[in-house]
Structure 1
Amino acid sequence: MVKNVKWFFVVLAISSLISLSFDKKKTLTDELPVGKLAPEVVLCNETKPLNLQSAQGKYTLLSFWASYDAASRVKNAKLNHLAGNDARIKIISISFDRYESVYRAAIEQDGNDSGNCYWEMEGENSDIYKSYGLKNGFTNYLVDNEGVIVAKDVTADMLASLLD
């Protein structure tokens, strides 16, 4: 009887490992590939969507971040400073901080232009968070004048080379 129970647990453990190895999780790349139309961005405290389309020849940099995620905050600040004064790039920076006071303090500390920064008050429960697949981590998207994603997870160096 004890021998049968041991084999039962061995078989159960092996079958669990096999089933986990076939579990395919969606990655950010699968959800929003380059070339796809960027989903509409409607903040829960706004009545109309943010316009991802811009004038002919211009790009929109859509940057997602939160102050509790240091890497996304640093990347957002660098991109804001680089693109902030360039007429060829329109930046839309969206924070998923839980409290508006934390968001405002981060914007001030980082020296970002508050005119292109937005706070999504529903955070991880928002439609934006879900439609952009941010459960896999904060990132950014470079969108052309027609709203099509042309690059994602853009670094300051990549953006600088694009602008040169």
Structure 2
Amino acid sequence: MNYKKIAGALMLMAGSLYASAQQGYTIKAALKNAGDAKFLMAYMDGKDFVIDSNYTTEKGIVTFKGKVNHPVLCHFITRNMALNIKTDHGYIPAPGLEFFLSNDLIRITGDANAIYKASVKGGQANNDWNSIKAKEAAITDRNWQATLLSYKDTVAAHQQALKAKSRELREQLSEEQDKLQTAFIQSHPKSLVSMYFLANMVNSLDLGKLEAAYNQLDAAYKTSEYAKRIEDKLAASKATSIGKTAIPLNKTDINGNPVNLQALQGKYVLLDFWGSWCGPCRQSHPHLKELYNQYKSAGFEIVGIAQEQGDDATAVWKKAIAEDGLPWIQVLNNTGIEKFDAVKAYGITAFPTKILLDKDGKIIGRYVGQEAEGLTEKLTGLFKK
């Protein structure tokens, strides 16, 4: 018997199997209660947002096939309107299933009416994630059941009470999930899932904790989009931390005049990041107008920096300024964003955010949220000097 030939054949066979495994993914979903429901997968592949509804069904197994350039987070969704919540303004969709799509055979098993609780097997990231997947699904289920309940009672007063209770529960569940994911990150530093979890925490972790956690993660995934999100946040936070000189805006105001922060030196300047679509931003304007009127003559200026949504950004921006009666300098970040994105440069991840500059153009305060806690007291102290 020629063992060398046999060994060679086995090596060729193994090579062939490896190559075929790398050519693309196969998703096989065995779902109860599928009925006439339709399914889709949605994910970002590089800069492309992909919605894939091209699948086959045989003997109750839904099969998707395709190829991705690298493992990506995927949302598997049941397209069944009966599962959604109908509101006066449209629909609240039922939760989908999250998993990592990679060029592997991935098997999904569950119930089409609660797809978010399905199990996922296949691919290294999914195998890692499975250690906490059931606990996360339980959190999602409690959250969704509370949301369903809050819309079930049509009596307005009852509905408001249920919605308030639902919001309180969501906050509690969010804390539970944060603890679960933080523990996962600590115990799985070599997992892509940890990088994904940490990327979703860039707005909730302080800079020191975010950087420390990132440094513990495996270098293998530090070229991923999730790592890029973390690195961008760290870079922006460091560039706009207390004591740093404010980044030049390179924008024009509502009248087309250039806005130059250097020209405003000698005044205390508040950069107000907001948007017409942002309720808390708009609700903060009356108090901001009071502060402006109180301190303007003493050397206080505000520069509003709006980030708008949709194709009619300029129109809705100008309309909101007129409606709210905002008398200070206004710029629209959308204009010339390809040359300079002020929201990204200043690391703005929540609206409203306000950044206070001293008379030399250095950052001396950063305030997030409608209340901008501490801003009023800061200005009082500054103008008492």
Give me the TM-score of the superposition, normalised by structure 2: 0.34
Aligned to 2:283: 74
8 Å Cα contact 1:63/1:139 also seen in 2: yes
The correspondence for 1:43, drawn from 234, 247, 251, is 251
The correspondence for 2:307, drawn from 72, 81, 96, is 96
Larger Rg: 1 or 2? 2
Aligned to 2:320: 106
- RMSD across aligned C-alpha pairs, in angstroms? 3.5
Specify whether residues 124 and 79 from structure 1 end up closer, same or farther in structure 2 by C-alpha distance, changes over 3 A only: farther
Q: CA deviation at 1:132?
A: 0.7
8 Å Cα contact 2:252/2:259 also seen in 1: no
Aligned to 1:120: 333
8 Å Cα contact 1:65/1:72 also seen in 2: yes
Q: Secondary structure at the match of 2:326?
A: coil
8 Å Cα contact 1:37/1:147 also seen in 2: yes
8 Å Cα contact 2:246/2:361 also seen in 1: yes
Aligned to 2:240: 32
Q: CA deviation at 1:50?
A: 2.2
**Structure 2 CA distance, aligned partners of 1:124 and 1:68?**
18
Q: Where do 5+ consecutive residues of structure 2 fail to align?
A: 1-120, 133-180, 199-213, 215-229
Ranked by relative contact order (alpha carbons within 8 Å, sequence separation 6 or more), the top structure is: 1
Q: Does 1:152 align with 2:362?
A: no
Q: Does 1:59 align with 2:175?
A: no
Q: CA deviation at 1:47?
A: 7.8
Higher strand share: 2
Q: CA deviation at 1:69?
A: 1.3
Q: Secondary structure at the match of 1:38?
A: coil
**Structure 1 CA distance, aligned partners of 2:316 and 2:333?**
12
Q: CA deviation at 1:77?
A: 4.5
Letter in 2 for 1:90: E
| Bigger mean CA deviation after superposition, 127-136 or 141-150 | 127-136
8 Å Cα contact 2:245/2:361 also seen in 1: yes
Q: Secondary structure at the match of 2:289?
A: helix
Q: Secondary structure at the match of 2:364?
A: strand
Aligned to 2:149: none
Specify whether residues 157 and 123 from structure 1 end up closer, same or farther in structure 2 by C-alpha distance, changes over 3 A only: farther
8 Å Cα contact 1:96/1:124 also seen in 2: no
8 Å Cα contact 1:80/1:91 also seen in 2: no
Aligned to 2:98: none
8 Å Cα contact 1:52/1:143 also seen in 2: no
Aligned to 1:161: 380
Letter in 2 for 1:120: N
Q: CA deviation at 1:82?
A: 1.6
8 Å Cα contact 1:96/1:122 also seen in 2: no
**Structure 1 CA distance, aligned partners of 2:127 and 2:194?**
15
Percent of aligned pairs sharing the same letter: 21
Q: Where do 5+ consecutive residues of structure 1 fail to align?
A: none
Q: CA deviation at 1:157?
A: 3.0
Q: CA deviation at 1:104?
A: 1.4
**Structure 2 CA distance, aligned partners of 1:108 and 1:159?**
28
| Bigger mean CA deviation after superposition, 116-125 or 143-152 | 116-125
Q: Secondary structure at the match of 1:12?
A: helix
| Bigger mean CA deviation after superposition, 44-53 or 100-109 | 44-53
8 Å Cα contact 2:237/2:347 also seen in 1: no
8 Å Cα contact 1:94/1:120 also seen in 2: yes
Q: CA deviation at 1:83?
A: 1.3
**Structure 1 CA distance, aligned partners of 2:274 and 2:291?**
16
